[in-house]
Amino acid sequence: MQLGQVIGSVVSTRKDERMRGHKLLIVAPLVANNGELVPKDTGSLVSADLVDAGRGDIVLIVGGSTAKTAIADPNVPIDACIIGIVDSVDL
Amino acid sequence: MQLGQVIGSVVSTRKDERMRGHKLLIVAPLVANNGELVPKDTGSLVSADLVDAGRGDIVLIVGGSTAKTAIADPNVPIDACIIGIVDSVDL
Amino acid sequence: MQLGQVIGSVVSTRKDERMRGHKLLIVAPLVANNGELVPKDTGSLVSADLVDAGRGDIVLIVGGSTAKTAIADPNVPIDACIIGIVDSVDL
Amino acid sequence: MQLGQVIGSVVSTRKDERMRGHKLLIVAPLVANNGELVPKDTGSLVSADLVDAGRGDIVLIVGGSTAKTAIADPNVPIDACIIGIVDSVDL
Amino acid sequence: MQLGQVIGSVVSTRKDERMRGHKLLIVAPLVANNGELVPKDTGSLVSADLVDAGRGDIVLIVGGSTAKTAIADPNVPIDACIIGIVDSVDL
């Protein structure tokens, strides 16, 4: 999993019908550096939100085929999901 | 998912027969930076277009085995698909 | 697999129910360089701990769908696991 | 998919028996930059050739589990395949 | 697949039982550059050895779910394998 911070959202009206109902958030991955979380230099990704996350929240992201496990529907074409909101990290 | 911008297309006549009928577009991945979308430094990729995207469109891309979920045919050897056209991002 | 060092942990109370009971550790990937293990510049990731690892331990990490193989439950949405504690490396 | 250019080949006599008969080519991934295809800085990879590609050809590569879809044999341990020869790109 | 050179090995006694019997080697990925193989800057990884490779050997590595195909046991939690020893490359 990756840590990330929610920094925005995506509006898409012309999309695969199976994605309807999934909120798509823009997340900036974070990595630990000298005891702090800092943005990862690979840049942001788009994740379906499964835990009602909000802007600014630190979240847990899963990717690849595990995103379909998270959604619990193998027919939804989504490859990244927010599966948890982080209360704190101990570094 | 990744955000990207359609910047071109690929013509290939000698290819796996199962790819016929899938338009192949060249997409430059985009990431959020200071409230704007900017090109990701990993460079472009090729995605099958499932939503009739056009040059210049900002799109949503899925990759890996999820691309076959998007195509809804596990026998098509495609590992990246455009599954949505982005109307706007809120950053 | 990747080598990594456990550098912290994550507390998340609002998360997918299927993740309960899995300790989530922050791991800094390590690579070999001139006969020593040094931090990889991609930064840390979060892994479920399957071997009771502790802070400072050098560990083996698997990712992607193999994490579900490690957990031995295809319904757990986790994409990175610690599957071994490293006694030594011979470089 | 990625674009790439065939730059060499690999000879391996001690290998998994299921790989026999698959020509292994070294491909340098290419990305679009200012209207031209240029080498991607991640460096070359090795792909099984499914379309009789030759040195210098610009090709389409699929990776991960999709390579097994391309080979149409889930028991062949190959994770990258050349599935098309590119006639032209429109950038 | 990636090319790599075996540069070391890992000893792990506390690990997932299903990994027993698999020799774990540290491999430095190699890429082609101006007609020579040079180390890839992403750094080393750990691969299960399926072909009795030795230190210094140039090898072929598969990753992800294909590693389980190589091992021919879907229950072994290994995500990278050495599947061939390279005799030569033609660049």
The predicted-structure confidence for D19-37, as pLDDT tens digits, reads as follows: 999 999 999 999 999 999 9
State whether C66 and E79 contact (CB < 8 Å): yes
Q: Which helix (H) or strand (E) holds A10?
A: strand A2-11
Quick check: B42 pLDDT over 90? no
Tell which of C2, C5, C7, C16 to mutate to test the A interface (max A CBs under 10 Å). Answer: C16
Q: Which has the closest alpha carbon to C51: C37, C31, C64, C70?
A: C70
Question: C43 — contact with chain E (CB < 8 Å)?
Answer: no
Q: What is the pLDDT of residue A42?
A: 87
- H, E, C per residue of D53-74: CCCCCEEEEEECCHHHHHHCCC
- Residue A30: inside a domain: yes
- Residue D32: inside a domain: yes
* Helical spans, DSSP H, in chain B: 66-71
State whether C65 and A63 contact (CB < 8 Å): no
Q: What is the pLDDT of residue B61?
A: 98
Mean pLDDT by 10 residues, chain E (91 residues): 98 94 97 94 95 97 96 95 98 96
Q: Whose structure tokens read 């550098």?
A: C7
* Helical spans, DSSP H, in chain E: 66-71
| Residues above pLDDT 90, as percent of chain B | 97
Q: Which helix (H) or strand (E) holds A71?
A: helix A66-71
pLDDT by residue for chain C (91 residues), tens digit each? 999 999 999 999 999 999 999 999 999 999 999 999 999 988 999 999 999 999 999 999 999 999 999 999 999 999 999 999 999 999 9
Question: B74 — contact with chain A (CB < 8 Å)?
Answer: no
- Residue B32: inside a domain: yes
Q: ipTM strictly over 0.90?
A: yes
Considering only CB atoms, A69 lies closest to which of C12, C45, C68, namely: C68
Neighbours of chain C (3+ CB pairs under 8 A): A, E
| Residues above pLDDT 90, as percent of chain D | 97
Mean pLDDT estimate for chain C: 96
Distance from CA of B6 to the nearest CA of D (A): 10
Take residue A77 and report the two structure tokens written for it: 């074409």
Considering only CB atoms, D79 lies closest to which of E42, E62, E91, namely: E62
| Total count of domains within chain C | 1
Q: Which of residues 9-28 of E touch D (CB under 8 A)?
A: none
Distance from CA of B68 to the nearest CA of A (A): 8
Per CB-CB distance under 8 Å, the chain A contacts of B51 are 14-16
Q: Is residue A19 very low, low, confident or very high in pLDDT (cuts 50, 70, 90)? A: very high
Q: In the predicted model, what is the mean pLDDT of residues D5-17?
A: 96
Question: D33 — contact with chain B (CB < 8 Å)?
Answer: yes
Question: D39 — contact with chain B (CB < 8 Å)?
Answer: no
Q: What is the pLDDT of residue C41?
A: 87
Neighbours of chain E (3+ CB pairs under 8 A): C, D
Distance from CA of A27 to the nearest CA of C (A): 15
| CATH code of the domain in which A51 resides | 2.40.50.220
Distances (CA, A) of D69 to A13, B65, C46, C63, D62: 31, 10, 30, 21, 10
Q: What is the pLDDT of residue A78?
A: 97
Rounded CA-CA distance D80/D87 in Å is: 21
How many CA within 13 A on the CB side of residue D91? 16
Q: What is the pLDDT of residue B41?
A: 86
- Residue D55: inside a domain: yes
- Residue A61: inside a domain: yes
Distance from CA of C84 to the nearest CA of E (A): 4
Question: B87 — contact with chain A (CB < 8 Å)?
Answer: yes
State whether E3 and D15 contact (CB < 8 Å): no
Q: In the predicted model, what is the mean pLDDT of residues B19-45?
A: 94
Considering only CB atoms, E86 lies closest to which of D12, D28, D43, namely: D12
Distance from CA of D17 to the nearest CA of B (A): 23
Question: C74 — contact with chain A (CB < 8 Å)?
Answer: yes
Per CB-CB distance under 8 Å, the chain D contacts of E51 are 14-16
Q: What is the DSSP string of C19-70?
A: GTT--EEEEEEEEEETTEEEE-TT--EEEEESS---TT-EEEEEETTHHHHH
Q: Which has the closest alpha carbon to D30: D18, D48, D15, D42?
A: D42
- Residue C68: inside a domain: yes
pLDDT tens for A35-83 read 999 999 889 999 999 999 999 999 999 999 999 999 999 999 999 999 9
Question: B76 — contact with chain A (CB < 8 Å)?
Answer: no
State whether E87 and D11 contact (CB < 8 Å): yes
State whether E83 and D77 contact (CB < 8 Å): yes
Neighbours of chain D (3+ CB pairs under 8 A): B, E
Full residue range of the structural domain in which residue E46 is found: 2-13+20-85
Mean pLDDT estimate for chain B: 96
Considering only CB atoms, E69 lies closest to which of D14, D28, D75, namely: D75
- Residue B91: inside a domain: no
Q: What is the pLDDT of residue E42?
A: 87
Q: What is the pLDDT of residue D40?
A: 93
- Residue E91: inside a domain: no
Distance from CA of D25 to the nearest CA of B (A): 16
Considering only CB atoms, B10 lies closest to which of D51, D67, D86, namely: D86
pLDDT tens for D35-63 read 999 999 889 999 999 999 999 999 999 99
Classify burial at B9, counting beta carbons within 10 Å of its beta carbon; exposed 0-12, middle 13-18, buried 19 or more: middle
Distance from CA of E68 to the nearest CA of C (A): 8
